[in-house]
Amino acid sequence: MTATRILVLNSGSSSVKYQLLDMATHERLAVGLVERIGEETSRLKHTPLAGGGEAREQNRRIADHAGALKAVADELAADGLGLDSPELAAIGHRVVHGGLKFTEPTIVDDAVLAEIERLIPVAPLHNPANLTGIRTAMELRPDLPQVAVFDTAFHTTMPESAARYAIDVATADAHRVRRYGFHGTSHAYVSRKTAELLGKDPSEVNLIVLHLGNGASASAVRGGECVDTSMGLTPLEGLVMGTRSGDVDPAVIFHLMRVGKMSPDEIDILLNQKSGLIGLCGDNDMREIRRRIDEGDESARLAFDIYIHRLKKYIGAYYAVLGRVDAIAFTAGVGENAAPVREAAVAGLEELGLAVDGELNSVRSDEARIVSPEYARVAVAVVPTDEELEIAQQTYALVGDAGDRNA
């Protein structure tokens, strides 16, 4: 029997999201989520998609990631999709920080685990959880290839001129301070899909990709390769996000320490969790913000305007970086669904060849589509992202290659 199934695991600090995909049929067999791991009542929601089964839910304490993965394995086994199935080819893991070393998806061995661990200081929230997920999966299926797919990998093509901060080189290098970029799996997938939508090969097109979810990032992609991206050493830099500030003058931090008497940890929480849209107006959900704007709420209006202003600045910056832009692609929760954000982001940019068609832009759809008028020089596209599919495809390609080499 050929093994064509890939289990994708996205292990966060207190959650595990998973999908089981069949790469031969492109069918999604099961999806699910374990959240509130370690809390009094954790929640596991498992949806078997293959046989059209009903979603199942467990509300009980799941103490740690090992317990969560075990529970997931049991749910999959109950649908005849257990981890012991000979059809399972590999497990693909999302790993947030791959530093400079990991430019491609990589089969995990001890050296890879050690390197992911070495990167914890630059990804303290994410890499420990990703590591625990991998280690637990290895214990459950020690014989199976475990593949790490890195959020940073797509951005490793950035030239030094974009990747370096203008700070003392020796200090920067000693502490690995540089711009790494994140959401790379999404930027990679959406760039390819956008080229496809334009009927071109990725190598022929220049794109600006705007991943606007709760976290948000922009990237400039020339001929299929990332040349700049808005997130930096951590996912805090760049655009205004749901709860993160994005760009601020670094001196704001010293000012808050010296004058506001805040500790580094307090400022970390302020900028990562209490800023962005939620800090500006108390809501981080764009639907709620639009509703409040419609009711005449001033702080929601200002939060929206600040969000759009920053977005526009990045569109302008990446236009200049690329010189020629063939398309701007909007993706993720806000990018795919919020027509007013797309409209406002390109408003007034007709001289740059940018416009949206009001009618096309307001159509709701799950399909990749172009929402700019025919006359516009630059296509504006809405391209739903699918990070799990991208991880599964990259994992399968790697395991397939390994299989071919062994054959």
Residue 237 dihedral angles phi and psi, to the nearest 5°: -75, 155
> Which among 66-74, 243-251, 279-287, 374-382 is the span making contact with ligand ADP, rule CB under 6 A?
279-287
Nearest approach, Cβ of 331 to ligand ADP (angstroms)?
Answer: 8
> Which among 19-27, 92-100, 166-174, 211-219 is the span making contact with ligand ADP, rule CB under 6 A?
211-219
> Nearer Cβ to ligand ADP, position 158 or 212?
212
- Placement of tokens 């929206």 in the chain: 304
> Nearer Cβ to ligand ADP, position 45 or 176?
45
- Contact (CB, 8 A) for 185 and 211: no
H-run or E-run covering 115 = helix 110-118
> Nearer Cβ to ligand ADP, position 28 or 178?
28
Sign of CA dihedral 323, 328, 331, 335: positive
Residue 264 dihedral angles phi and psi, to the nearest 5°: -55, -40
> Nearer Cβ to ligand ADP, position 146 or 191?
191
Interface with ligand ADP, residue 285, by CB under 6 A: yes
In what order do the strands lie in the sheet containing 56-60?
56-60, 42-48, 27-35, 16-22, 5-11, 88-95, 146-150, 106-107
Interface with ligand ADP, residue 333, by CB under 6 A: yes
Nearest approach, Cβ of 82 to ligand ADP (angstroms)?
Answer: 28
Strands 5-11 and 88-95, sheet pairing: parallel
Which whole-number Å values give the CA distances from 80 to 32, 388, 392, in the listed order?
16, 21, 20
Q: Is 74 a catalytic residue?
A: no
> Nearer Cβ to ligand ADP, position 282 or 400?
282
Interface with ligand ADP, residue 92, by CB under 6 A: no
> Nearer Cβ to ligand ADP, position 175 or 287?
287
Query: How many Å apart are CA 6 and CA 274, to the nearest integer?
Result: 37
> Which among 161-169, 283-291, 373-381, 390-398 is the span making contact with ligand ADP, rule CB under 6 A?
283-291
Among 4, 15, 103, 214, the residue binding ligand ADP under the rule CB under 6 A is: 214
The two three-digit tokens of residue 261, written as one number: 């008497």
Active-site residue identified among 22, 79, 151, 386? 151
Query: How many Å apart are CA 350 and CA 342, to the nearest integer?
Result: 14
Beta-bridge partners for 90: 6
The footprint of ligand ADP on residues 337-376 (CB under 6 A) is 337-338
> Which among 207-215, 230-238, 351-359, 369-377 is the span making contact with ligand ADP, rule CB under 6 A?
207-215
CA atoms within 13 A on the CB side of 157: 14
Among 26, 60, 175, 287, the residue binding ligand ADP under the rule CB under 6 A is: 287
Interface with ligand ADP, residue 278, by CB under 6 A: no
Kindly report the number of other CB atoms within 10 A of residue 167's CB atom. Answer: 11
Strands 42-48 and 27-35, sheet pairing: antiparallel
Interface with ligand ADP, residue 246, by CB under 6 A: no
Residue 23's closest CA among 7, 47, 10?
7
Consult the annotation and say whether 130 binds a ligand.
Answer: no
Amino acid at position 216, single letter = A
The two three-digit tokens of residue 132, written as one number: 């625990």
Return binding residues for Mg(2+).
Answer: 10, 387
Return binding residues for ATP.
Answer: 17, 211-215, 285-287, 333-337
> Which chain residues interact with ligand ADP by CB under 6 A?
213-215, 242, 284-287, 332-334, 337-338
Residues labelled catalytic: 151
